[in-house]
Amino acid sequence: MELDAAKMIGAGLATIALAGVGVGIGLIFGNFVAAAARNPAAMPKVFGNVLLGFALTEAIALFALLIAFLILFG
């Protein structure tokens, strides 16, 4: 029974990264909206970088979930 409890605790600790991912995505899009409101002409130039930042930040969430699932079911 102790091994199952350790797996649950480890998986919970592995998913702490998801909180940071939520904050990161919020910062990315919040700053994008603020920048687009100040200079709408620059919006198409910056949007590619916004999507790249979103994808890289979301990859961290996928890695965290992968590690949690590997701890639970591996």
In order of their start, the domains of the chain are 2-73 (1.20.20.10)
pTM comes to 0.79
pLDDT (tens digit per residue) in 9-46? 999 998 998 899 999 999 999 999 999 999 999 999 99
Contact call for residues 72 and 11 (beta carbons, < 8 A): yes
| Residue 25 identity | I
Is there a contact between 35 and 46 (Cβ–Cβ < 8 Å)?
yes
What's the pLDDT score for residue 1? 73
Q: Which of the 8 DSSP states describes residue 14?
A: H
Rounded to whole angstroms, how far apart are CA atoms 48 and 4? Answer: 44
- Nearest Cα residue to 35 out of 26, 22, 51, 47: 47
Alpha carbon distance 63, 43 (integer Å)? 30
